[in-house]
């Protein structure tokens, strides 16, 4: 694809992705690209989180990964724990990560304390 078409495709994906996911999600990683909600800054710890998703998509296959992420809650939890642990290692705040993981955005039935314990394992 030419550079212009790639830019158009990414703009389209960004517009569609952020309409389909929760309004509280600022970053989505898929297909080798990290999509950033307009007006939001991608910091190093956020990048570490999203790059973990991209690495794992490459290992499993992006479409298989996406299917499992969307349909298998245990898989989704495992993937988010790995990504949040990478975020914390890169300087992210464990309290923020535990809060976000337990907030309902992902559909997990976790308290903040349970999320924090899982992140510390």
Q: Dump pLDDT digits (tens) for 63-116.
A: 899 889 889 999 999 999 999 999 999 999 999 999 999 998 888 999 999 999
Number of domains in the chain: 1
Determine the structural domain holding residue 78 and report its residue range: 3-120
Quote the pTM value.
0.84
Question: What integer pLDDT is reported at residue 21 of this predicted model?
Answer: 62
Measured CA distances, 19 to 16, 35, 43, 69, 78 (Å): 5, 12, 22, 18, 25
């Amino acid at each position: 694809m030419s550079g212009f078409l790639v830019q158009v495709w990414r703009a389209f994906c960004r517009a569609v992705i952020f309409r389909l996911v929760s309004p509280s999600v600022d970053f989505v990683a898929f297909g080798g690209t990290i999509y950033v909600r307009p007006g939001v800054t991608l910091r190093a710890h956020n990048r570490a989180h999203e790059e973990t998703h991209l690495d794992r998509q490459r290992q499993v296959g992006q479409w298989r990964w996406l299917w499992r992420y969307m349909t298998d809650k245990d898989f989704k939890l495992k993937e988010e724990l790995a990504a949040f642990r990478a975020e914390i290692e890169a300087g992210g705040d464990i309290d923020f990560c535990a809060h976000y993981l337990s907030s309902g955005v992902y559909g997990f039935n976790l308290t903040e304390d349970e999320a924090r314990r899982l992140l510390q394992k």
